Structure 1
């Protein structure tokens, strides 16, 4: 149900930066609301109103399957559900993280652990955004290949059991064509905003991380040591990959 997806995105909003909230606005208003209102009425009778100039039993069904391998409406609903799945996983993890954080007593150890958990939470969010971009681009390509940018008013069909090449006709082709353009434009805007969000969040959170903690000197030193250990591990991994490439080349 749309209400379940809305609750998932509302939970995601609490952990998203400003660009992420803009993407959520696109999802809730220009996708979920419009698909649940306008598109449902536009596409619910598409198979019923699809007609062919023959009474041969089964011809209409096979021609409809050729014209629409998958309904545009179901294609877009599947798109939203696929994008919502990693977001649901992130919201579940974030809720679990916040519950653990609230139960910890205030101490130096808990502050360091909260710092580590926050970085893990941010990394999971970055993975969520990367999956979102891949899904957006994949469905944009799929929409282009399946439907192009036009719903023709007439389909010639010669599939069995049609006795000859028959002409089939769709209902409201111009409305559906306009909706194809609209949904493709929303997809391009969503993919672009997600890409900008990925770059901005990665730079802000991991390259220019300037978190301010109300800590004493010893706890701050522990955090600095932790950051040095993390950077050292990254350098070691890069050196290992470099050596492997050199061995492979020679």
Structure 2
């Protein structure tokens, strides 16, 4: 997996974002950095270090699949990919606006958008939906991790009695404390990512509401001026 290419795309999409999204990007960068440097290159495949106190062929493989149905490292990699994909929605929409603006300039000689990357109209909704997707993906993977690891716990000892194990055997997961630390980091960083996305949604919605209120006040002021001018004209006509 080429993380640098994915990072370049996400960083390019983030230039159309707010300050909250820059904070989110910094958190994701730290998560990718930890995964790429401290985890992916050091850990590798873990099933070789999983042991059960039996020599029965196939017992350790079956028990490993039951106790660790999905590696939290692979789950983390999928999570990082999924949460960065919604940024591509915004980038694709901006690219569409740029092409549309160029075509409009070629036909009419004027610009259709003063700033194609400004979050107005449909682009505002695309940006909002991308934030909702980021929250949903992070929350979904947190739930999945909690479901697989039974409350984010990594047991030092697990019992297994699945066939072809002859009896109930004791199985040991390699480096459970290390795994628990990485899971804790994953959970905390995901929670911070969700928090920044929620803050950004609140910021965007409040900003939009303030603009609507300002527009309504401006319309009231214009209507009041029009009514006042009409009254003045009627008064002049009477005199």
Q: Shorter-chain TM-score category?
A: 0.7 to 0.9
- Relative to the length of structure 2, the TM-score reads 0.79
What are the superposed Cα offsets for residues 110-150 of structure 1, whole Å, 9 maximum, x if unpaired? 35896998421121000000111111211112211211222
Written as runs of structure 1 = structure 2, the 5 A alignment for 1:141-180 is: 141-147=143-149, 148-180=151-183
Q: Residue in 1 aligned with 2:198?
A: 195
Runs of 4+ in 1 over 3 A off after TM superposition: 102-109, 111-118
Q: Residue in 2 aligned with 1:79?
A: 79
Q: Residue in 2 aligned with 1:213?
A: none
2:96 counterpart of 1:96: yes
How much does 1:107 deviate?
6.8
CA distance in 2, matches of 1:111, 1:38: 45
How much does 1:101 deviate?
2.8
SS at match of 2:28: helix
How much does 1:93 deviate?
2.0
Of 175, 181, 185, the match for 1:182: 185
Unpaired runs of 5+ residues, structure 1, are 211-223, 225-250
2:121 counterpart of 1:119: yes
Q: Residue in 2 aligned with 1:110?
A: 112
Q: Residue in 2 aligned with 1:26?
A: 27
CA distance in 2, matches of 1:113, 1:190: 28
How much does 1:108 deviate?
7.2
Q: Residue in 1 aligned with 2:223?
A: none
Residues 50 and 171, structure 2, Cα contact 8 Å, conserved in 1: yes
Residues 101 and 111, structure 2, Cα contact 8 Å, conserved in 1: no
Question: Number of paired residues?
Answer: 209
Unpaired runs of 5+ residues, structure 2, are 213-218, 220-239
CA distance in 2, matches of 1:44, 1:11: 31
CA distance in 1, matches of 2:115, 2:23: 31
Distance change in 2, residues 1:108/1:8 (3 Å): closer
Which is higher, the Rg of structure 1 or of structure 2? Answer: 2
